[in-house]
Amino acid sequence: MVQDADEEILIDELRNDDFQQRLKSVRRLTTISSALGVERTRNELVPYLNELAVESEDEDEVLLAMAEEIGNLIPHVGGNEHVHHLLLPLETLCAPEEALVRDKAVESLIKVAEVIPNVEEAFVPLIRRLATGDYNSHRIAAAPLFATVYKRVSESSKAEMRRLFGQLSKDDFPMVRKAACTALGGFSQVLEQNHLQNEIIPLFTSLARDDQDSVRIVAVDNCVTLGRIFPTDKNQSLQDKSWRVRYMVADHFCELCESIPREVIEAEMCPALVKFLKDTEAEVRTAAAFKVAGFCSKVSVDVALNQIMPCIRDLVVDQSQHVRAALASVIMGLAPVLGKEHTIEQLVPLFLSLLKDEHHEARLNIICKLDNVNQVIGVECLSQSLLPAIIELAEDKQWRVRLAIIEHIPLLASQMGAKFFEERLAKMCITWLADSVFTIREAASLNLKKLTEVFGVQWASVYIIPQVIELCGHSNYLYRMTAINSIANLTSAVDKEKQKQMLNAVVVATKDPVPNCRFNACKAMELMLPAIDAQIVDSTVVPALNLLSNDEDPDVKFFAAKTLNACMKA
């Protein structure tokens, strides 16, 4: 009796007038059903949930939670044999206009469909009721369900389902047609080949020409799916009166080409891409620009040079900065496609133009892909053609451009070799330590460590360490701080002799008149501890820190104490 009372309390919680309490209870449906047992869950809880779904039509949050939790009740109603009991409340939850509730109910229905044994008797009638329902929401909910059970029903039911799906695709309500169009790709994957030809392709063609932009945009996504299922050498026109649809086609362009023979791509898809690259809407040109490298890899070099390259030359000077930035992000990828000769002759001038673009994003996108070009044309050619522009960008007024250059310096260094790097870029790396932007100074400091790892300690002893130590005496305290941080970063990459030399510079910095420099010296010594011999720590580091532990600045005292503590543990 006590147990029955507890179960009644659980059910009563679902009837609570308080919204939050009812929501909390709905989220505990699996717990409630476990307490009730499978028989009472089927006979009492599930029917009540259906009533609650009808009564709570204005409480979308409760309905959403219910739609999700019912899908988790399959084992609690007795398993697959009794799962059909869950169909009624889920069907009711397909009625609300709130799309989130309806979509979650459909997800749970699909869970049920995957395990229900009596598909023909239980699930097909549900699809029929939804697909022919008076409410638009019912018909929208029906569309994704066809693909789930189609292969498991009789031939007569298959014919009926194809007919019902066709009705949804021609529904008077645009949102129903959009739902059918969204589900078309999935439904196509389970259909027999002859029905694809005779029924689905005509439906797709009709939807692709729908008078609603929203429907045609969704149809574009199905081009890829249908292309894989039903390869064809006859392509529909990819032009559309709505720029949003053209944008979607351009955005999916390379995917659309995946299942098409190369000769068809060159004969029909290439002219279509050219039209997109020349489109009147900047958004369409931007989407198409992102695809040029990927598309050119699918066609011959001659086609790329003769048909796509003229468009690329126009895009380099396009009036839209977004188009130029999009092109800059992929144009370097054309170098491996076109080869060394064509890259030097046709692409390098375009790279130079984009490196000098007034919009910093275009410059950034070119810099980030330099390695693609270097692999094709070689370091000598790169240095003659692009390096002067890169050096110029090292002083770009936009700090993000300078940062991008710094991040690519180690890669360029490894490809150029020490001698070439010394002549062109070594001084620049030191200059960045005195940049006006902290982020640049910080990146430049880390960059020195990476260069030391590339070229070795001997190289760093000549071209980096003396200059960094000299910077410790700069009149600007910000640069002195950068030098201290650089020493801390370099310690693990150099030998014992250089470590001792750099430690002496940091010890000198503990007497700096600016407190920020003094506590940064403390932090630097803490980072250097793992690489320094214990004897040097006791003789040099600890005495300097003991003096700072009585510093008048509280921050200096704090970091001195912190580093002293680290010395004791070392």
What is the DSSP code (8-state) at residue 294? H
Residue 109 near residue 122 (C-beta atoms within 8 A): no
Write out the two tokens for 217.
Answer: 């945009």
Q: According to the model, what pLDDT value does residue 145 have? A: 93
Look at residue 165 and tell me if it is in a domain. no
Residue 171 near residue 162 (C-beta atoms within 8 A): no
Q: Please give the tally of structural domains in the chain.
A: 1
Give Cβ neighbours of residue 539 (< 8 Å, ≥ 6 apart): none
The predicted model gives 71-92 an average pLDDT of: 90
Residue bearing tokens 């701080």: 481
pLDDT of 426 strictly over 70? yes
Q: According to the model, what pLDDT value does residue 14 have? A: 61
Q: According to the model, what pLDDT value does residue 235 have? A: 42
Look at residue 247 and tell me if it is in a domain. no
pLDDT band, residue 281 (cuts 50/70/90): confident
The predicted model gives 99-122 an average pLDDT of: 91
pLDDT of 516 strictly over 60? yes
Dihedral, CA atoms, 178, 182, 184, 185, nearest 10 degrees?
Answer: 160
How far apart are the C-alpha atoms of 122 and 116, rounded to whole Å? 8
The predicted model gives 492-498 an average pLDDT of: 78
pLDDT of 548 strictly over 70? yes
Q: According to the model, what pLDDT value does residue 58 have? A: 57
Q: According to the model, what pLDDT value does residue 126 have? A: 93
Q: According to the model, what pLDDT value does residue 518 have? A: 92
Look at residue 398 and tell me if it is in a domain. no
pLDDT of 455 strictly over 90? no
The whole domain housing 532 covers 464-569
pLDDT band, residue 139 (cuts 50/70/90): very high
pLDDT of 221 strictly over 50? yes
pLDDT of 183 strictly over 80? yes
pLDDT band, residue 417 (cuts 50/70/90): confident
Give 356-391 pLDDT, tens digit per residue.
888 878 887 887 777 677 677 776 676 677 677 777
| Range of 23-27, 109-113, 118-122, 234-238 with top mean pLDDT | 109-113
The H or E element that residue 231 is part of is: none
pLDDT of 238 strictly over 60? no
Q: According to the model, what pLDDT value does residue 110 have? A: 93
Which whole-number Å values give the CA distances from 190 to 120, 150, 162, 176, 226, in the listed order? 17, 7, 11, 21, 12
Q: According to the model, what pLDDT value does residue 236 have? A: 44
Residue bearing tokens 């070439």: 420
For a pLDDT cut of 70, what percent of the chain falls above it? Answer: 87
Look at residue 295 and tell me if it is in a domain. no
The predicted model gives 122-141 an average pLDDT of: 92
Q: According to the model, what pLDDT value does residue 2 have? A: 35
Look at residue 557 and tell me if it is in a domain. yes
Question: Which of 166-170, 219-223, 243-247, 527-531 has the lowest average pLDDT?
Answer: 243-247
Q: According to the model, what pLDDT value does residue 233 have? A: 42
The predicted model gives 228-238 an average pLDDT of: 46
Look at residue 8 and tell me if it is in a domain. no
pLDDT of 15 strictly over 70? no
Look at residue 513 and tell me if it is in a domain. yes
pTM above 0.75, yes or no: no
Which whole-number Å values give the CA distances from 539 to 504, 529, 534, in the listed order? 12, 13, 9
Neighbours of 444 (CB within 10 A): 24
SS3 per-residue string spanning 9-22: HHHHHHCCCCHHHH
- 567: closest CA among 556, 488, 505, 559? 559
* More confident of the two residues 226 and 560: 560
How far apart are the C-alpha atoms of 469 and 460, rounded to whole Å? 12
Look at residue 528 and tell me if it is in a domain. yes
The predicted model gives 19-37 an average pLDDT of: 84
* More confident of the two residues 548 and 219: 548
pLDDT band, residue 538 (cuts 50/70/90): confident
Q: According to the model, what pLDDT value does residue 360 have? A: 79
| Range of 309-323, 364-378, 458-472 with top mean pLDDT | 309-323
Q: According to the model, what pLDDT value does residue 431 have? A: 86
Q: According to the model, what pLDDT value does residue 16 have? A: 58
Neighbours of 166 (CB within 10 A): 15
The predicted model gives 313-326 an average pLDDT of: 92
Write out the two tokens for 303.
Answer: 């086609």
pLDDT band, residue 232 (cuts 50/70/90): very low
How far apart are the C-alpha atoms of 570 and 553, rounded to whole Å? 26
pLDDT of 163 strictly over 60? yes
Please give the mean pLDDT across all residues of the chain.
83
* Residue 172: burial class (beta carbons within 10 Å; 0-12, 13-18, 19+): exposed
**Which CATH number characterizes residue 519's domain?**
1.25.10.10
